[in-house]
A and B are shown apart, each in its own frame.
Chain A
């Protein structure tokens, strides 16, 4: 008998004393198989030592309640779809994927009149804005972001400094969904020791290179104290 066969028998029977005679003879002359058997049986004993748990007495009652709920619940749309013939289901799934892909492409690349002339995002900070806050080339700006659906993409970031104050000017493509943004509005991401927050400042001349914050709301009551 070969070792592989013998070990398979030991694994199946799980008891060295109940092996067939040819396997027992092999084990008697093969230290590797003997070791395998002893180790396996010892491991199994250990694994089976914690007592088996049983279902609680309330199992059937709770299950009956869940089954009643499952019976009365309306079938999910997916279940209805899969209940149809496979060809129909596959066709429906393919159409669904096609529509999703199309919507994804449109939402990512299509530029509506609003977004084409959309506002700019001005990031003002008295510290250099860390790369994890504003990272050019990404589809969205990572945290902190207010209304994440509004920002469709970040096109460029430029930076000017004035003493220990730094103004970062970011040009973003925006979506109008969720919030109306006027072209004369600017969004400020103010970062200071109180943390970062996005504030809406009306009337800022967009596109001006003279955007330099003279205060960053330090000690102010609200972010709206930021001025230019």
Chain B
């Protein structure tokens, strides 16, 4: 009995190691054949990048988590229809991007005045809100908070078509080609949208540009 359990555990570990070595396409193929471990590995690889991407689009963590999960549900339910014409990363980001854009549009339509409206941008989207801290904050921490809030607000006020392209390029570091595939646009259109978004942000963040911290 003990030996059987050990053997089972060894098989499980081996299988887990194996899925880690598989490419995205191989994982999706295995998941399509009913391999749950393969799908778990897909989730493990993409849950944080997708959550982060949606968060930067919406600036609402709860909703970002919700939409990231919805993204995986959609991947799972349509896994039989997935065709490996382009990378899986492009495919999953496209789903997440569509969900985020759809949520932005919903919010614009709603525009309800709520308790949280004081923390919303002009577009009706949530802005980061840090509750008041009674401790004495250092001046640089205050400046950093101010800068972060300004960046968050500046991104939130970008039109959605510029925002998705800019977030994918300048925050998520995707190539222009990938972004064109994710957003189903030509590379030229993507470049022009990113350029326009950068110009808008430069105007809004001019004050903070010179003092951006170096991380290198």
Give the tally of cross-chain contacts (CB within 8 A): 86
Q: Mark B31-60, 1 if CB is under 8 A from A, else 0.
A: 000000000100100011001100100000
9 smallest CB-CB distances across A and B, nearest first, come from A55-B47, A45-B212, A46-B212, A55-B51, A63-B69, A54-B48, A53-B55, A55-B48, A42-B209
- Chain B interface size band reads 35 or more
Q: Are A59 and B209 in contact (CB under 8 A)?
A: no
Asked if A39 is an interface residue, CB under 8 A from chain B, the answer is yes
Asked if A80 is an interface residue, CB under 8 A from chain B, the answer is no
Q: Are A63 and B48 in contact (CB under 8 A)?
A: no
Q: Are B155 and A45 in contact (CB under 8 A)?
A: no
Asked if B196 is an interface residue, CB under 8 A from chain A, the answer is no
Q: Are B76 and A70 in contact (CB under 8 A)?
A: yes
Known: A40-B198, A43-B209, A47-B171. A53 touches B73 (CB 8 A): no
Contact residues of B: prevailing secondary structure = helix
Q: Total interface residues on A, using CB and 8 Å?
A: 25
Interface residues of B (CB under 8 A from A): 40, 43, 47-48, 51-52, 55, 61, 64-65, 68-70, 72-73, 76-77, 128, 144, 147-148, 151-152, 155, 166, 170-171, 175, 198, 201-202, 205, 208-210, 212-216
Q: Are A43 and B69 in contact (CB under 8 A)?
A: no
Q: Are B47 and A46 in contact (CB under 8 A)?
A: no
Q: Mark A7-27, 1 if CB is under 8 A from B, else 0.
A: 000001001000000000000
Q: Are B209 and A39 in contact (CB under 8 A)?
A: yes
CB neighbours of B208 from chain A (8 A) = 46
CB neighbours of B212 from chain A (8 A) = 42-43, 45-46, 49
Asked if A67 is an interface residue, CB under 8 A from chain B, the answer is yes
CB neighbours of A52 from chain B (8 A) = 48, 52
Interface residues of A (CB under 8 A from B): 12, 15, 39-40, 42-50, 52-56, 59-60, 62-63, 66-67, 70
Q: Are B170 and A47 in contact (CB under 8 A)?
A: yes
Q: Are B201 and A43 in contact (CB under 8 A)?
A: yes
Interface centre among A43, A47, A56 (most CB of B within 10 A): A47
Known: A49-B151, A59-B69, A66-B69. A54 touches B51 (CB 8 A): yes
Known: A42-B210, A59-B69. A54 touches B52 (CB 8 A): yes
CB neighbours of B170 from chain A (8 A) = 43-44, 47-48
Known: A45-B215, A59-B69. A67 touches B148 (CB 8 A): no
